[in-house]
Amino acid sequence: GAGVSQSPRYKVAKRGQDVALRCDPISGHVSLFWYQQALGQGPEFLTYFQNEAQLDKSGLPSDRFFAERPEGSVSTLKIQRTQQEDSAVYLCASSWTTGRGTDTQYFGPGTRLTVL
Amino acid sequence: AQRVTQPEKLLSVFKGAPVELKCNYSYSGSPELFWYVQYSRQRLQLLLRHISRESIKGFTADLNKGETSFHLKKPFAQEEDSAMYYCALTLTGANSKLTFGKGITLSVRP
């Protein structure tokens, strides 16, 4: 079946613009994660959903970052008033159950955001 | 807070040579450790996890709680092993968010 998909794959924004990044998880996956990967770094956790509930948003770097998953499937990560330091690859991952530490996370291809 | 350290950025070996990719972690509890791999132009994918005690594509990794290490090893490297490798941990019983190291590029030359 289809894996995790993300769109757009590439996004160029001018500083100050708002952007929206979409994630389509594997059908039936309860858990959904967003990670941010800066150049030369490993992915860093942003936020976690269990169905439509956002249970952990401790990794969101500022209040300019907002994520939602209103129907427990597709998720959108929104960044308002983008800054150059927001330039990174944004990864989405999903897993089957409620994320009790043993479930494999399946990653999407990522969205590469460049803020000019 | 938990942390994963991968001390090297690049490892270059010849085909058939042994490989050891180092990973150390800091966490006072009982984490679960993973190795993820990203081949060129492909997405990040799970290679192996310590609880499975499996050998995947000839790779093994043993969790050493005394040294807080989870080094990835392969006795004979193949060209197709060339990729980016990330060590990661999650806290048992938590929401399984992953904490990653910075990653290491493995280059296997013919």
Residue A55 has pLDDT above 90, yes or no: yes
Of the candidate ranges A92-101, B37-46, B65-74, the one whose mean pLDDT is the lowest = A92-101
pLDDT of res. B50: 85
DSSP for residue B79: G
Q: Are B49 and B31 in contact (CB under 8 A)?
A: no
Residue B29 has pLDDT above 80, yes or no: no
Token pair listed for B21: 């990719």
Q: Chain B residue closest to A42 (CA)?
A: B102
Under an 8 Å CB criterion, which residues of B touch A? 4, 6, 32, 43-46, 49, 51, 86, 88, 90-103
Give the N- to C-terminal CA distance of chain A in Å, as an integer.
37
Q: How far is CA A103 from the centre of its chain?
A: 18
pLDDT of res. B96: 80
pLDDT of res. A75: 98
Residue A98 has pLDDT above 70, yes or no: no
Give the N- to C-terminal CA distance of chain B in Å, as an integer.
41
Percentage of chain A exceeding pLDDT 90 = 91
Count of CB contacts below 8 A, A vs B? 65
Nearest to B98 by CA among A67, A6, A33: A33
pLDDT of res. B27: 83
Tens of pLDDT, residues A11-48 = 999 999 999 999 999 999 999 999 999 999 999 999 99
SS3 A85: helix
pLDDT of res. B91: 82
Residue A104 has pLDDT above 90, yes or no: no
> Cβ–Cβ of A101/B99 closer than 8 Å?
no
Spell out which residues of chain A touch residue B51, defining contact as CB-CB under 8 Å: 102
Residue A57 has pLDDT above 90, yes or no: yes
pLDDT of res. B94: 58
Spatial separation of the C-alpha atoms in residues B83 and B81, rounded to whole Å: 6
> Cβ–Cβ of A42/B101 closer than 8 Å?
yes
Residue A72 has pLDDT above 90, yes or no: yes
Residue B41 Cα, gap to closest chain A Cα (Å): 9
Question: Which comes out higher in pLDDT, residue A96 or A106?
Answer: A106
Spell out which residues of chain B touch residue A104, defining contact as CB-CB under 8 Å: 46
